[in-house]
Structure formats: structure tokens, C-alpha cells
């Protein structure tokens, strides 16, 4: 006998920590031999070793047949080994299972209740539809076995049978029900267990058992079973409202008297989910009692009780927000708990508790979770989970959610919210750039009063070189620069020094930004430039002309850095912009709109700026961007006699298209009239934002000549690179 015993194997593994895999591989080799042995002891030992190796991740499905051999051993200890191996390794599709039917029948009929117990436990794991069908009768008759030890096991195994062979439920349910009156408490408990599981899937069918269960509720002192019964009633009462009335006295009794926190908790839980607070006569008193009992949970130093207390409150929240609000202070304290599980549960509640008054305070608390702690002692006690990206992202999502829910109805001060969003950009530490970008854009566009502040805040982001430097890391959230650039471009009239803003757009390093951000940068350069140049034209003189010339020259050079972008959109826009700047530059430097002042005998400039400058402005700012409700268009009645589908002019033949272009160019870029409300805050549900393009022009979809020209150049240039 040189075979390793299970103990030897375990010792060996522990002694070979460094080359564990190699050692186990060698052992498996031996097991392969041993398992074929004719000596049942060696075979059983091999199977036992395999079960151990299965636990640490080694497949043993190849040995299924040998497992069945060991299961059928007459020796009790070997039978135990065999059945254990089967429970650990057999699957529904294990083919040797069909060999086990007779074996199981034999073991179930054994005179030794312990052997029967092993077989029952084994069956609860390996049962298949076939086995369930074949053994159903045997098991049902075993419900009246003389030993409670067997009866309780049979009851539980029957549930597993029902899952595989639903027919068995119909056949055995009357017999199963009888067991509710069993003399042994463990058997009754097992039956209640099974009924609970069955009722979870189909509560209606078990309403008829209510009287019997009710009797148990009043007489039993087995807390484990009471918990199960009370949970079961929680599922039944919504189906049968009359039950609630009947249940209230015993449950109230339990709530008042029980010393077991688990039972107390389940009673309160059932009162909540069983909708008993709404059906009873003195529901206010009951609700108050539940809340005061839950308070005990929340105030308990035991973290577990605190946790389940919060869990229960979150279930009350949808129906009774006021009751939850009574515990606001405790809940807010739980947000700062050092235990992440409790924090998350408290956060769920907080999200439902937010109102106008406490929003800023709650957000402040949540934000503080994201900040590194100033106090060194404090930081060492914080669990590392707080620094985990998933947790941080969760916090940020919740902040945004509570602020933006119901169309921002909880926010009183939007400047504060913009400041929060900007702060989040810096402290997030996880990639939430997309979310922040949408929020900033949404608020910036929808809330007129905040625009000035928003533009200012965006300047801070744009000028921050650290965002640019770290833009290749997603957690730097440099994506918000998209919003920053867009807001700056669109609302550039709020800029104090537009030239500075343009400077930010073309500062070194911006070409490292994501392509979609770069594209917005270029467009924004144009927009701010158009605005600034136009504002110069009001006090047009030689100085401003020189300034414009110099600046245009500079910007034309700077914008070239985007021209070599690998992204086609960026490249196209860059060439577009550069072309526009060079046209303006050329125009400024060649046209000398000067007149001879006869009186003073000198040449002086006129006060009129070149038309090209004033023409650039309407390109971007003809009409203000306003929020438009998605259904707004439908609300405008179509004037009588207007057929929107009729052509205004007959469509032109293809060949003449080019000639007509010039003539129709005037509305090629046009935006329609300001549309929708002009209120400061327009918050219809799901407001969309947009400029309506002229219906007719977009239908035809042509470009202005200028565009066409640039496009050609772009194509040429991009091929030259």
C-alpha cells in the first residue's frame, strides 16, 4: 500500500507551495491509476482525493463512472465519499446519472436511516427530470417514514423534484400538506420552507394554506420558522387584502414583544411590503410604531442592524416618503459611515429624500467623499474601497442624478450647479467626462441667466494647462473641454476679452485632445472671431484695422496646426477656417477704403469696416439658440391654404443648378425665426434644443459656393500630405 491518503495529498500540497501545480499533476497521474484499482478502498480513496482537488479547481468529470462505483459500495464510509463526490461534480448532463436510479432506489429503501439520509442529500444535488419521475413515488411514500430525520430530508428533496418534474407537485402536495401537522418541529419547518419557495413563484395557489399557517404563527416559538411564515404572508397579503386585517394583531404582538431582532425586522418588513399600512384601521399608529422600531435599528452600534434598517427604509420610501424623512439626520450620518455597504444603502435613500432645501448640503457631503482627506489620521481609517473608481463613479452619477432629476427642479442656484460640475471635473478621478459634458451643455443652453457665469467658468477650464497635459488619460475628464469650447463659442458675447478665448483654442497642445473636441475648438475659433471682428467694426479706424490684420494673420498661422490632423472632420474644418481667415486677411490688406479729405488735405480712413467682417457675423449669430420642446412644432397651426409639401419654385433641372445657386444663397445659411418660449427657464419635459433650418433649403441641401471651393482645396490638400 503505497498510495497517498487524502491526508497525505493535503500535506503534500501544503509542502509544495512553490510547485503546487506540478505536484498536483503528479498526484492526478497516480489517481488515474488508483481509481481503476480493483480494491474498493483504493478506489474510494482516489475519489475522495478528486473531490478535494475539485474544490481547488481541478475538473473531475472524467471520473463520474468511478464515482458511481464508490456510491454503490456497501461500506458506509465509502458510500459517503461517493455521494459527496457526486454532489460536487455531477451536472445535469452527466451521462452516468442514468445508472444511478436503481442505486438510489436501493439506498432510499435502506433500513439504516443514515444511509437514507446520504442518498436523500445526494439526490437533492443530482436530481434530473428522469430521476425525479422515477423516484417520485418512493419519496412520497417516505413522507410517512417513522423517523423525523428522514421525513424532514424527504420534504426538502421533494422541492428539488418539483423543479425538475412539476407533475410531482400535483401528486404529492396533499401528502406534503399533511406534514404541516407533523409531530416533529423540524419537519414542520421544512414544509414551511418548501411552501415558501413554491409560493414565491406562484403565491396564489397557496392562499388556501393561510389558516394553517396562521395557526402556526400564533402557536410556534421557533423563530426560524416564524420568519419564514411571516415572509410568506408578505407575499400573500397583496393578493388577499382580508388577510392583512387578520394578521395585524399577531404581527403587532410580535413587533412589540419579540427579543429577536431578526424576527422583529421581518415583521416590520412584512408590514411594509404586505401593504398592511394602508389597509388597517389604525394604520397611523402601526406606521409610527414601525418607524420607531426601525429607529432602534438605525441607532444601534451594530452595523448589521443599521444596514437592514436602511434596507427596510428604502422599501418604505416609495410609499411613505414622510416616514423616511423623519430619520433624515440618521440617514445623512450613514452617508459618512466608514462601511461601504452602509454608505451605498444610505445613498439609495438620500437620492429619494432630496429637496430644494437640502440639495446643496447633500451634494456637499457627497463631494467630500471624492476629495482626498486632509486629515492624515482620518484617511488611514478610510477603507480603500472609497478610492475605487466604481464607487467614485457611482457617487458622481448620483450627484448628477439628484441635481438633474425632474428637469433640475431641485436646483435654486444654477451658478452653484455649474461650479459643482467644474469641481467634479477636477476631483472625479474617474472617466465621467461624457456625463459632465452633457450636463454643462444642457444647463448652459437651457438656463439663460447662468450663461454669463458659465462662460466665465468655462474660461477657467479652457485656460487650464493641466487638463491639456493629461488629456490622454480618460480619468482626467478633459472631454469637458468639448462643452467648454462650445459654450464659449456660442455665448461669446459674454466674453470680456474674446481674443484671450481664441488664444486658449489655439494654445500649444490642443492637437492632443480628442478629435471631436478639436473639431469644436476650430468651430469656436470662427465663432468668437466673427463676434470680435464684428464688435471692432463699430469703432472702425486704422488702429482696429491693424489689430484685426495682425490677429487674423496670427490665427491663420495657428489654425494650420489642425490641418495636419489625422481626423478628416478636424482637417476639413481646419482648412475651412484657414481659408476664411486668409480671405479676410487678403480682403483687409488689399482694399483701402479711404477717402481724400479735401478740407484737411489728407487721406483718412472711413469709419466703415469692410463688408466681409459684418457678413461673417450673421453666419453664426443670426438667431439666438433657444430651447424648443420636441412637440412645439405640432402646436403651431398650419395657416389655412398653405400646402407645406408644394414646391415654391418648380425644381430646377440638374444642369442649371450651379447658376441658380448664387441667387438662393441668401437663405442657404439662414436660421428660422426664434422659436419656442423666450422665458429664462424653459423646462418642458424632454425639451430639445435646436435651431430649425429652413425647411426648403435643407430639402435641397446644397452648399454655398464658398463651401464648395474650400472643400475642393481640402481634398487636394489631404491627398498631398
Partner 1 sequence: MIKSVLIFNNHGKPRITKFYQQIDIGTQQALLQEIYSLVSKRPDTACNFLEGSQMLGGKDTRVIYRHYATLYFVFVVDESESELGILDLIQVFVESLDRCFENVCELDLIFHFEEVHHILSEVISGGMVLETNISEIVSAYSEANKLKKRSGAIATISGSGAGAVARDLGANLANTVTSTLQNTLQTTVSATFPTFRRNTGFNT
Least Cβ distance, residue 468 to partner 1 (angstroms)? 34
Q: In a 3-state reduction of DSSP, which class is residue 206?
A: helix
**CA–CA gap between residue 244 and residue 200 (Å, rounded):** 18
**CA–CA gap between residue 165 and residue 87 (Å, rounded):** 19
Beta carbon nearer to partner 1, 259 or 655: 259
Least Cβ distance, residue 227 to partner 1 (angstroms)? 5
Candidates 112-120, 469-477, 579-587, 635-643 — which segment interacts with partner 1 by CB under 8 A?
A: 112-120
Beta carbon nearer to partner 1, 185 or 474: 185
Q: Is 625 a binder of partner 1 (CB under 8 A)?
A: no
**CA–CA gap between residue 44 and residue 34 (Å, rounded):** 9
Beta strand pairing call for 594-597 and 627-628: unpaired
> Which parts of 373-392 interact with partner 1 (CB under 8 A)?
383-385, 390
Beta carbon nearer to partner 1, 47 or 421: 47
**CA–CA gap between residue 265 and residue 290 (Å, rounded):** 9
Q: Is 5 a binder of partner 1 (CB under 8 A)?
A: yes
Beta carbon nearer to partner 1, 110 or 704: 110
Least Cβ distance, residue 477 to partner 1 (angstroms)? 23
**CA–CA gap between residue 562 and residue 568 (Å, rounded):** 10
Q: Which one of residues 43, 151, 306, 446 is an interface residue with partner 1 (CB under 8 A)?
A: 306
Q: Is 254 a binder of partner 1 (CB under 8 A)?
A: no
Q: Which one of residues 325, 340, 419, 632 is an interface residue with partner 1 (CB under 8 A)?
A: 340
User: Long-range CB contacts (< 8 A, 24+ apart) of 159-164?
Assistant: 159/193, 159/194, 159/197, 159/198, 160/123, 160/124, 160/127, 160/132, 161/127, 161/132, 161/135, 161/136, 162/198, 164/127, 164/128, 164/129, 164/131, 164/132
> Which parts of 531-590 interact with partner 1 (CB under 8 A)?
none
Least Cβ distance, residue 165 to partner 1 (angstroms)? 15
Candidates 118-126, 244-252, 372-380, 619-627 — which segment interacts with partner 1 by CB under 8 A?
A: 118-126
> Which parts of 640-699 interact with partner 1 (CB under 8 A)?
none
Least Cβ distance, residue 8 to partner 1 (angstroms)? 10
Candidates 306-314, 350-358, 402-410, 507-515 — which segment interacts with partner 1 by CB under 8 A?
A: 306-314
Candidates 223-231, 403-411, 505-513, 520-528 — which segment interacts with partner 1 by CB under 8 A?
A: 223-231
Q: What is the DSSP letter of 383?
A: -
Least Cβ distance, residue 157 to partner 1 (angstroms)? 6
Residue position matching grid coordinates 476639413: 572
**CA–CA gap between residue 666 and residue 58 (Å, rounded):** 77
Beta carbon nearer to partner 1, 92 or 715: 92
Beta carbon nearer to partner 1, 396 or 580: 396
> Which parts of 45-84 interact with partner 1 (CB under 8 A)?
45, 48, 51-52, 54-59, 75-78, 80-81, 84
Q: Which one of residues 16, 23, 37, 41 is an interface residue with partner 1 (CB under 8 A)?
A: 41
Beta carbon nearer to partner 1, 59 or 709: 59
Beta carbon nearer to partner 1, 44 or 363: 44
Beta carbon nearer to partner 1, 197 or 567: 197
Helices marked H in 222-279: 223-236, 241-257, 261-273, 276-279
Least Cβ distance, residue 395 to partner 1 (angstroms)? 13
Beta carbon nearer to partner 1, 381 or 566: 381
Secondary structure element (H or E) that encloses residue 628, with its range? strand 627-628
Nearest by Cα to 143 from 158, 133, 134, 154: 154
Residue position matching grid coordinates 425586522: 265
Contact 321, 351 (CB under 8 A): no
Contact 66, 35 (CB under 8 A): yes
Site string for partner 1, 261-300 (x = CB under 8 A): xxx-xx----------------------------------
> Which parts of 311-330 interact with partner 1 (CB under 8 A)?
311
> Which parts of 143-202 interact with partner 1 (CB under 8 A)?
149, 152-153, 156-157, 159-160, 186, 189-190, 193-194, 196-197, 200
Q: Which one of residues 121, 407, 544, 703 is an interface residue with partner 1 (CB under 8 A)?
A: 121
Beta carbon nearer to partner 1, 14 or 322: 14
Residue position matching grid coordinates 494650420: 560
Beta carbon nearer to partner 1, 109 or 260: 260
Least Cβ distance, residue 18 to partner 1 (angstroms)? 15
Burial of 364 (0-12, 13-18, 19+ CB in 10 A): exposed
Task: Tell me how far CA of residue 134 lies from CA of 69, 98, 102, 167, 700, in angstroms.
Answer: 21, 11, 9, 12, 75
The number of residues in the chain equals 721
Q: At what angle do helices 328-335 and 359-370 cross, to 10 degrees?
A: 20
Least Cβ distance, residue 223 to partner 1 (angstroms)? 5
Beta carbon nearer to partner 1, 67 or 570: 67
Beta carbon nearer to partner 1, 267 or 628: 267
Beta carbon nearer to partner 1, 259 or 406: 259
Nearest by Cα to 482 from 450, 453, 521, 435: 521
Interface with partner 1 (CB under 8 A), residue total 81
Backbone angles phi, psi at 118, to 5 degrees: -65, -45
Candidates 109-117, 248-256, 591-599, 693-701 — which segment interacts with partner 1 by CB under 8 A?
A: 109-117
Straight-line distance from the first to the last Cα atom of the chain, in angstroms, rounded to the nearest whole number: 80
Contact 340, 297 (CB under 8 A): no
Contact 485, 461 (CB under 8 A): no
Contact 99, 82 (CB under 8 A): no
Q: Which one of residues 112, 591, 607, 660 is an interface residue with partner 1 (CB under 8 A)?
A: 112
Beta strand pairing call for 602-605 and 594-597: antiparallel
Q: In a 3-state reduction of DSSP, which class is residue 73?
A: coil
Contact 291, 323 (CB under 8 A): yes
Nearest by Cα to 245 from 289, 280, 217: 280
Candidates 6-14, 101-109, 420-428, 703-711 — which segment interacts with partner 1 by CB under 8 A?
A: 6-14
Contact 123, 160 (CB under 8 A): yes
Least Cβ distance, residue 73 to partner 1 (angstroms)? 9
Site string for partner 1, 478-517 (x = CB under 8 A): ----------------------------------------
Least Cβ distance, residue 583 to partner 1 (angstroms)? 57
Least Cβ distance, residue 7 to partner 1 (angstroms)? 5
Q: In a 3-state reduction of DSSP, which class is residue 689?
A: strand
Q: Which one of residues 44, 139, 317, 421 is an interface residue with partner 1 (CB under 8 A)?
A: 44
Q: In a 3-state reduction of DSSP, which class is residue 515?
A: helix
Beta carbon nearer to partner 1, 50 or 244: 50
Amino acid at each position: 500500500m503505497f498510495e497517498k491518503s487524502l491526508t497525505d495529498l493535503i500535506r503534500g500540497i501544503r509542502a509544495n507551495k512553490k510547485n503546487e501545480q506540478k505536484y498536483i499533476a503528479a498526484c492526478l497521474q497516480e489517481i488515474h491509476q488508483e481509481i481503476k484499482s480493483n480494491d474498493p478502498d483504493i478506489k474510494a480513496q482516489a475519489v475522495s482525493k478528486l473531490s478535494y482537488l475539485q474544490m481547488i479547481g481541478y475538473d473531475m468529470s472524467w471520473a463520474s463512472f468511478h464515482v458511481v462505483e464508490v456510491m454503490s459500495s456497501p461500506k458506509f464510509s465509502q458510500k459517503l465519499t461517493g455521494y459527496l463526490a457526486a454532489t460536487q461534480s455531477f451536472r445535469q448532463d452527466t451521462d452516468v446519472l442514468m445508472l444511478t436510479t436503481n442505486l438510489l432506489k436501493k439506498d432510499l429503501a435502506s433500513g439504516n436511516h443514515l444511509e437514507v439520509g446520504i442518498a436523500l442529500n445526494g439526490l437533492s444535488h443530482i436530481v434530473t427530470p428522469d430521476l425525479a419521475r422515477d423516484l417520485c413515488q418512493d419519496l412520497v411514500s417516505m413522507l410517512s417514514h417513522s423517523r423525523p430525520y428522514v421525513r424532514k430530508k424527504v420534504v426538502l428533496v421533494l422541492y428539488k423534484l418539483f423543479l425538475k418534474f412539476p407533475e410531482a407537485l400535483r401528486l404529492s402536495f396533499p401528502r406534503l400538506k399533511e406534514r404541516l401537522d407533523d409531530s416533529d418541529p423540524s419537519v414542520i419547518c421544512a414544509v414551511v420552507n418548501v411552501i415558501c419557495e413554491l409560493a414565491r413563484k406562484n403565491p396564489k395557489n397557496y392562499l388556501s394554506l393561510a389558516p394553517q399557517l396562521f395557526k402556526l404563527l400564533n402557536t410556534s416559538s421557533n423563530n426560524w420558522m416564524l420568519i419564514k411564515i411571516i415572509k410568506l404572508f408578505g407575499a400573500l397579503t397583496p393578493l388577499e387584502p382580508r388577510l392583512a386585517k387578520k394578521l395585524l394583531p399577531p404581527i403587532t404582538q410580535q413587533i412589540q414583544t419579540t427579543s429577536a431582532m431578526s424576527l422583529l425586522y421581518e415583521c416590520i418588513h412584512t408590514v411594509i411590503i404586505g401593504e398592511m399600512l394602508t389597509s388597517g384601521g389604525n394604520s397611523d399608529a402601526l406606521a409610527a410604531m414601525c418607524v420607531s422600531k426601525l429607529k432602534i435599528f438605525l441607532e444601534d452600534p451594530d452595523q448589521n442592524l443599521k444596514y437592514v434598517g436602511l434596507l427596510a427604509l428604502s422599501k418604505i420610501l416609495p410609499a411613505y416618503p414622510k416616514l423616511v424623512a423623519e430619520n433624515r439626520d440618521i440617514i445623512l450620518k450613514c452617508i459618512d459611515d466608514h462601511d461601504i455597504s452602509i454608505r451605498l444603502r444610505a445613498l439609495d435613500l438620500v437620492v429619494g429624500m432630496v429637496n430644494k432645501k437640502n440639495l446643496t448640503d447633500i451634494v456637499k457631503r457627497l463631494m467630500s467623499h471624492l476629495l482626498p482627506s486632509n486629515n492624515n489620521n482620518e484617511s488611514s481609517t478610510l477603507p480603500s474601497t472609497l478610492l475605487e473608481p466604481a464607487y467614485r463613479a457611482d457617487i458622481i452619477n448620483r450627484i448628477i442624478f439628484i441635481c438633474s432629476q425632474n428637469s433640475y427642479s431641485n436646483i435654486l442656484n444654477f451658478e452653484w450647479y455649474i461650479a459643482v460640475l467644474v469641481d467634479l471635473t477636477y476631483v472625479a478621478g474617474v472617466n465621467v467626462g461624457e456625463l459632465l459634458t452633457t450636463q454643462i451643455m444642457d444647463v448652459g443652453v437651457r438656463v439663460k441667466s447662468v450663461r454669463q457665469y458659465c462662460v466665465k467658468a468655462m474660461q477657467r477650464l479652457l485656460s487650464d494647462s493641466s487638463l491639456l497635459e493629461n488629456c490622454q488619460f480618460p480619468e482626467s475628464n478633459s472631454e469637458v473641454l468639448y462643452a467648454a469650447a462650445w459654450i464659449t463659442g456660442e455665448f461669446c458675447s459674454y466674453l470680456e476679452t474674446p481674443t484671450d478665448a481664441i488664444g486658449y483654442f489655439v494654445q500649444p497642445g490642443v492637437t492632443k485632445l480628442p478629435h471631436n473636441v478639436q473639431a469644436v475648438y476650430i468651430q469656436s475659433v470662427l465663432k468668437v472671431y466673427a463676434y470680435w471682428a464684428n464688435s471692432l467694426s463699430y469703432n472702425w479706424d486704422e488702429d482696429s484695422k491693424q489689430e484685426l490684420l495682425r490677429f487674423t494673420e496670427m490665427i491663420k498661422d495657428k489654425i494650420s496646426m489642425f490641418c495636419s490632423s489625422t481626423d478628416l472632420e478636424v482637417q476639413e474644418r481646419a482648412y475651412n477656417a484657414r481659408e476664411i481667415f486668409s480671405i479676410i486677411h487678403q480682403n483687409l490688406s488689399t482694399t483701402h477704403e479711404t477717402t481724400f479729405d479735401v478740407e484737411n488735405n489728407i487721406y483718412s480712413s472711413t469709419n466703415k469696416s469692410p463688408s466681409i467682417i459684418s457678413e461673417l457675423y450673421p453666419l453664426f449669430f443670426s438667431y439666438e439658440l433657444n430651447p424648443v420642446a420636441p412637440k412645439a412644432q405640432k402646436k403651431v397651426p398650419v395657416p389655412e391654404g398653405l400646402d407645406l409639401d408644394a414646391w415654391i419654385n418648380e425644381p430646377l433641372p440638374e444642369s442649371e443648378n450651379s447658376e441658380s445657386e448664387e441667387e438662393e444663397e441668401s437663405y442657404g445659411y439662414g436660421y428660422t425665426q426664434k422659436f419656442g418660449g423666450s422665458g429664462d427657464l424653459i423646462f418642458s419635459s424632454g425639451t430639445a434644443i435646436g435651431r430649425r433650418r429652413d425647411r426648403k433649403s435643407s430639402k435641397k441641401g446644397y452648399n454655398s459656393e464658398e463651401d464648395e471651393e474650400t472643400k475642393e482645396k481640402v481634398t487636394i490638400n489631404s491627398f498631398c500630405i
